[in-house]
Chain A
Amino acid sequence: SQTIHQWPATLVQPVGSPLSLECTVEGTSNPNLYWYRQAAGRGLQLLFYSVGIGQISSEVPQNLSASRPQDRQFILSSKKLLLSDSGFYLCAWSPGLANQGEQYFGPGTRLTVT
């Protein structure tokens, strides 16, 4: 069966510090991968998605970037965090082929920028 991991689970970082969040998927090949941010009391905002290694699409201009160095690894980064980057970050995957759109989510990373 497929599983998705995210780490760290929680993170407290000062403003201006760098960020690296990692997401890995097991048990599948060529998945589509997604990064979402969920601000307190709000819905999910799609940040980035990827259909293959090195292929990244950005949904909103922001202080963040994403990379996909391996088929089942998706990394969310920032060079300098802002207070507004605080939130709950969720990684998700969906089957790359014969895909009807369902996505499966990881447990999330709670980021607090102080």
Chain B
Amino acid sequence: AQSVTQPDIHITVSEGASLELRCNYSYGATPYLFWYVQSPGQGLQLLLKYFSGDTLVQGIKGFEAEFKRSQSSFNLRKPSVHWSDAAEYFCAVGGGTASKLTFGTGTRLQVTL
């Protein structure tokens, strides 16, 4: 069965600092990997996705993620965080029947000014 682990429940960074959110997955074949962001009381927005090819993928809002097969990881990064990046971030893995996604439990990002 596929699974996703986001080991950090809550992270606090200062505005302008760099950010890395961790994601580890378990999947039997080549995974499709995703990062979503959720602002309070809202739906999820797709930040970026990895299907194949270049292991460093660029997304919206200045985010990027790197797929490392040997480590079963897909960590999300941003060089300089803005206060508006404060939200909850979900990593997901998919590729199964009806393209079901399995989500991690999320990492809540707090940005201090």
A107 touches B (CB below 8 Å) = yes
Contact partners of A90 in chain B: CB under 8 A: 43-44
Contact partners of A46 in chain B: CB under 8 A: 100-101
Contact partners of B101 in chain A: CB under 8 A: 46, 101, 103
The count of chain A contact residues (Cβ–Cβ below 8 Å) is 24
Contact of A105 among B44, B98, B105 (CB under 8 A): B44
Q: Which of A42, A92, A102, A106 has the most CB of B within 10 A?
A: A102
- Known A-B contacts A100-B49, A102-B34; the reply to A108 vs B99 at CB < 8 A is no
The complex places the Cα of A111 from the Cα of B43 at a distance, in Å, of 14
CB pair B90 A44 closer than 8 Å: yes
Contact partners of A102 in chain B: CB under 8 A: 32, 34, 46, 49, 94
CB pair A105 B104 closer than 8 Å: no
B12 touches A (CB below 8 Å) = no
Contact of B99 among A42, A44, A100, A106 (CB under 8 A): A100
Residues of A within 8 A of B (CB): 32, 34, 42-44, 46, 49, 51, 57, 88, 90, 92, 94, 99-108, 110
Q: Can you list the 3 inter-chain pairs with the closest CB atoms, starting with the nearest?
A: A101-B94, A105-B43, A43-B105
Q: List 27 A-B contacts (CB under 8 A).
A: A32-B98, A42-B105, A43-B103, A44-B90, A46-B100, A49-B98, A92-B44, A100-B32, A100-B99, A101-B32, A101-B34, A101-B99, A102-B32, A102-B34, A102-B49, A102-B94, A103-B46, A103-B99, A103-B101, A104-B46, A105-B36, A105-B43, A105-B44, A107-B42, A107-B43, A108-B42, A110-B41
